[in-house]
Structure 1
Amino acid sequence: MTRVTDSSALSTLRHDVPASLVVFLVAVPLSLGVAMASGAPLAAGLIAAVVGGIVAGALGGSAVQVSGPAAGLSLVVADLVQTYGWRATCMITLLAGAVQLLLGVFRAARAALAVSPAVVHGMLAGVGVVIALSQLHIVLGGSPQRSALANLIELPRQLAELHGHKIAVGLLTIGVLAVWLRMPKPVKAVPAPLAALLIASASAWGFGWDVTRIDLSGTFTEWAFPVLPQGDWHLIMASVLLVALLAGVESLLCSVAVDSMHTGPRADLDQELAGQGVANMVAGALGGLPLAGVIVRSTANARAGARSRASTILHGVWVLVFAIGFGWTIQLIPVEALAALLVFIGVQMVNLGHIKKVHGHGEVPAYFVTMAGVIFLGLAEGVLFGLALAALLALRRLTWVTVKTRVEPDGRHHATISGSLTFLGVPRLTQDLRAIPAGAAVDLDLDIDFMDNAAFEAIHSWRQDHERLGGTVDIDELHEEWYAMAVSGVRMYPAKNPARAPDRSWLPWAHRRRGPAHRVMPLHGNPVQPDCQLTAGAREFHRRTAPLVRPIFTELARKQQPTHLFITCADSRVMPSLITASGPGDLFTVRNIGNLVPRKGSEAYDDSVGAAIEYATQVLGVHTITVCGHSGCGAMAGLLSGGVKAGSLPAMRRWLRHGNHSLARFIETEGDRLDGNALDTLCRVNVQQQLENLRTYRKVDEQIRSGRLKLVGLYFDIGSARVHMLPPVPSTLSVKT
Structure 2
Amino acid sequence: MNPAIPRHDIAASLVVFLVALPLCVGVAVASGVPAELGLVTGIVGGLVTGLLPGSSLQVSGPAAGLTVLVYEAVETYGLPALGAIVLAAGLLQLLLGALRFGSWFRGISTAVVEGMLAGIGLVIIAGQLYAMAGAAAPASGIGKIAGLPGLAGDLATSATLWPSFAIGAGTVALLPLWQRLPAKARVAPGALVAVSLATAVTWLLGLQVKTVEVRGLIDSVQPPGTDVFAALGPGVIGTVLAFTLIASAESLFSAAAVDRMHDGPRTDYNRELMAQGAGNIVCGTLGALPMTAVIVRSATNVQAGARTKASRVLHGVWLLLFAALLPAVLALIPIAALAGVLVYAGVKLMPVEQFPVLWRAHRGEAVILAATAVAIVTISMFEGVLIGLLLSVVKAAWQTSHIKLEVTDEGTGPVHAHLSGNATFLRLPKILDDLETLPKNRPIELDLTGLHHLDHTCRTALTTWTEQHNAESTEQVRMSPALT
TM-score (norm 1): 0.56
Which residue in the other structure is 2:192 paired with?
A: 194
Unaligned runs of 5+ in 2: 156-160, 409-416, 471-478
State the shift of 1:424 in Å.
Answer: 4.3
Relative distance call for 1:451 and 1:301 in structure 2 (3 A) is same
Report the secondary structure of 2:453's partner residue. Answer: strand
Corresponding position of 2:40:
47
Aligned to 1:153: 146
Residue 78, structure 1, aligned to residue 78, structure 2: no
- Unmatched 5+ residue regions in structure 1? 407-414, 466-482, 492-737
Instruction: Give the stretch that moved more between structures: 238-247 or 336-345.
Output: 238-247
**Is the contact between residue 36 and residue 220 of structure 2 (CA under 8 Å) also seen in structure 1?**
no
How far residue 313 of structure 1 moved from its aligned partner, in angstroms, is 0.9
1:502-521, aligned counterparts within 5 Å? none
Name the structure 1 match of 2:112: 119
SS at match of 2:369: helix
Alignment deviations for residues 254-305 of structure 1 (CA, whole Å, 9 cap, x no partner): 2122211111111111111111111111112223200011111112112222
Selected match of 2:395 from 370, 374, 393: 393
| Count of residues paired in the alignment | 461
Q: Find the aligned partners of 1:232 and 1:325 in 2 and give their Cα distance.
A: 36
- Residue 425 of structure 1 aligns to a residue whose secondary structure is helix
In structure 1, the residue matched to 2:7 is: 13
- Supply the distance in 2 between the matched residues of 1:336 and 1:457 (Cα, whole angstroms): 63
* Deviation, structure 1 residue 38: 0.9
Q: 1:31 to 1:436 in 2, by over 3 A?
A: same
Hey, what's the Cα distance between the residues in 1 that align with 2:418 and 2:292? 48
Q: Hey, what does 1:179 align to over in structure 2?
A: 177
Query: Residue 165 in 1 paired to residue 168 in 2?
Result: no
What CA distance in whole angstroms lies between the structure 2 residues aligned with 1:426 and 1:139? 55
1:381 is matched with 383
After TM superposition, give the deviation of residue 357 of structure 1 in Å: 4.6
The whole-number CA distance in structure 2 between the counterparts of 1:147 and 1:307 is 43
CA distance in 1, matches of 2:178, 2:383: 37
SS of alignment partner, residue 420 of structure 1 = strand
The Cα offsets for residues 109-163 of structure 1, whole Å up to 9 and x where unpaired, read as: 2233343222222112111111111110121231212112222333223222322
Equivalent residue letter for 2:233: W
Note the alpha carbon deviations across 1:369-419, whole angstroms, 9 max, x for none: 22111111111121222222222222222324356899xxxxxxxx99774
Distance in 1, matches of 2:44 and 2:450, equals 53
> In the alignment, is residue 133 of structure 1 matched against residue 126 of structure 2?
yes
Q: How does 1:225-240 map to 2 (within 5 A)?
A: 225-227=223-225, 228-229=228-229, 231=231, 233-240=233-240
2-structure distance, mates of 1:41, 1:394: 43
Residue 450 (str. 1) matches residue 453 (str. 2): yes
Q: Which residue in the other structure is 2:411 paired with?
A: none
Q: How does 1:220-299 map to 2 (within 5 A)?
A: 220-227=218-225, 228-229=228-229, 231=231, 233-299=233-299
Give 1:457 shift.
Answer: 9.7
Q: Which amino acid aligns with 2:390?
A: A
- Supply the distance in 1 between the matched residues of 2:296 and 2:220 (Cα, whole angstroms): 31
How many Å separate the matches in 2 of 1:329 and 1:348? 28
Q: How does 1:687-698 map to 2 (within 5 A)?
A: none
Residues 382-531 of structure 1: matches in 2 within 5 Å?
Answer: 382-401=384-403, 419-429=421-431, 431-432=433-434, 449-452=452-455, 454=458, 487=481
TM-score when normalising by structure 2: 0.84
Structure 2 counterpart of 1:67: 60
Aligned in 2, Cα 1:391/1:424: closer, same or farther, shift over 3 Å? closer
Tell me the alpha carbon deviations over residues 584-612 of structure 1, each in whole angstroms, 9 at most, x when there is no partner. xxxxxxxxxxxxxxxxxxxxxxxxxxxxx
2:94 corresponds, among 97, 101, 104, to 101
- Paired residue type of 1:241: L
Q: Kindly provide the CA deviation profile for residues 348-378 of structure 1, in whole angstroms up to 9, marking residues without a partner as x.
A: 2112355345862722222222211111111
| 8 Å contact kept, 1:425–1:455 | no
The residue identity in structure 2 corresponding to 1:372 is V
CA distance, structure 2, for counterparts of residue 222 and residue 430 of structure 1: 66
1:313 is matched with 313
Q: Deviations over 1:84-108 (max 9, x none)?
A: 2212211221222122112222222
1:322 matched to 2:322:
yes
Look up the match of 1:144. 137
Return closer, same or farther for 1:354/1:156 CA change in 2, 3 Å cut-off.
Answer: same
CA contact (8 A) 1:197 1:337 kept: yes
Instruction: Decide which structure has the larger Cα Rg and report it.
Output: 1
1:167 offset after TM fit, Å? Answer: 1.6
2:437 & 2:101 partners in 1: Cα distance? 50
Question: SS of the residue aligned with 1:363?
Answer: helix
Task: Evaluate the alpha carbon distance shift between residue 487 and residue 127 of structure 1 in structure 2; reply closer, same or farther with a 3 A threshold.
Answer: same
Deviation of 1:40 (Å): 0.9
Q: Are the aligned partners of 1:423 and 1:455 in contact in 2 as well (CA < 8 Å)?
A: no
- Quote the Cα distance in structure 2 between the aligned partners of 1:164 and 1:424: 56
Report the alpha carbon displacement of residue 205 of structure 1 after superposing the two structures with TM: 2.3
Q: Once the two structures are aligned, what percentage of the paired residues are identical?
A: 38
Contact 2:50 2:312 in 1 (8 A): yes
Q: Which has the higher helix share?
A: 2
Q: Which amino acid aligns with 2:25?
A: L
Sort the Cα spacing of 1:230 and 1:452 in 2 relative to 1 into closer, same or farther, 3 A.
closer
* Residue 418 to residue 311, structure 1, CA distance change in 2 (3 Å): farther
Task: Between the two structures, name the one with larger relative contact order (CA 8 Å, sep ≥ 6).
Answer: 2
